[in-house]
Amino acid sequence: MINIALDGPAGSGKSTVAKILSNKLDILYLDTGAMYRACGLKCKNLGVSVKDEVAVSSFIDGIDLKIEYKNGTQITILDGVDVSTDIRKPEVSMLASDVSALKCVRLKMVDMQRKIASSMDCVLDGRDIGSFVLPNAKFKYFVTADSKVRAERRYKELVERGTPVDFDELHKEILQRDYNDSHRDFAPLKQADDAIVVDTSTMSVDEVVNYILSDVNRRK
C-alpha cells in the first residue's frame, strides 16, 4: 500500500501538488481539509457555533458526509448535496479551522481517513496526516511557504474562481489559521519528525512535484 502524507499550512500548495502527484502515480487523492470544511458548513447550516463542543458532539457521529470521485476529482457530499464549491468560500475556511480543533470532530474525521487510506493507495493532504492520522506512512512531506506567498496564491485562486477578496484580509486570515491550526490541543498542525520539509516559496509547482515524485520513486 502506498500512502503519501502531505502536510502543511494553508496555501502552501499541497493540494495542487497532491492532485498532480496522485494523477502521475495513478492513485487516489484525499483532500482531508474538505472534510473539516464540510463539518464547518454543517454547523453553519444547523446554526450551531463551531466552538460549542457539546452541540457539535451531538451530531458529529451521525454526520452524513461522503467522499466520492468523479473523473478522478474528489466530490464532497453533505446531507446528499454536492458542497464541493460551497466549502471553498473564505467564510467556511475559518469555520473549518475552528471546528477542526474539537476532539470529537477530529476523532470522527480521522477514523474516516484511516479507513480510506487502509483500503487504497492514496495521497492525503492535511495538517496531521504524518504526525497523527498515518504515523507509519512511508512517505511524509511537510510542504510550507512564506505566509505572504501563500496569501498571494490563495488570492489568485479565489479571483480566478470569481470570488474577489481583500488581499490584506486574506493574509490576516491565513496567519490566524496558522495560529489556530498549530496551537490547538489535539493533533495540531505539526511536522512529523520523519517528514521531509519542502519550502515552496521560490519553487514552481512542477519543481515541487518532481522533487517529491523522484523521492517516492527512489524509495518505493
100 lies in the binding site for ligand DC (CB under 6 A):
yes
| CB 184 to ligand DC: min, Å | 8
Among 3, 5, 13, 36, binds ligand DC (CB under 6 A): 36
Q: How far is CA 176 from the centre of its chain?
A: 16
Does position 97 bind ligand DC by CB under 6 A? yes
53-59 CB contacts, 8 Å cutoff, 24+ apart: 53/102, 53/103, 53/104, 56/99, 56/102, 56/104, 56/105, 57/102, 57/104
Cell digits of residue 193: 519528525
Q: How far is CA 57 from the centre of its chain?
A: 21
216 binds ligand DC (CB under 6 A): no
Q: Which is nearer to ligand DC, 84 or 216 (CB)?
A: 84
Tell me how many residues contact ligand DC (CB under 6 A).
15
Q: Is 151 in the site for ligand DC (CB under 6 A)?
A: no
Q: Does 178 bind ligand DC (CB under 6 A)?
A: no
**CB 84 to ligand DC: min, Å:** 12
Q: Say if CB 39 and CB 99 are below 8 A apart.
A: yes
Burial 78-108 (b: 16+ CB within 10 A, else e): beeeebbebbbeeebbebbbbbbbbebbbeb
Judged by beta carbon, residue 156 or residue 220, the one nearer ligand DC is: 156
Under the binding rule (CB under 6 A), the answer on residue 154 touching ligand DC is no
- The string over 149-176, giving b where at least 16 C-beta atoms fall within 10 Å of a residue's C-beta and e elsewhere, is bbbbbbbeebeeeeeeeeeeebbebbbe
CB-nearer residue toward ligand DC: 102 or 212: 102
For residue 37, state whether it binds ligand DC (rule: CB under 6 A): yes
* Beta pairing class for 3-7 and 28-31: unpaired
Contact flag: residue 145 with ligand DC (CB under 6 A):
no
Nearer to ligand DC, 157 or 219 (CB): 157
Q: Is 12 in the site for ligand DC (CB under 6 A)?
A: no
Binding site for ligand DC (CB under 6 A): 10, 32-33, 36-37, 93, 96-97, 100, 126-129, 177, 181
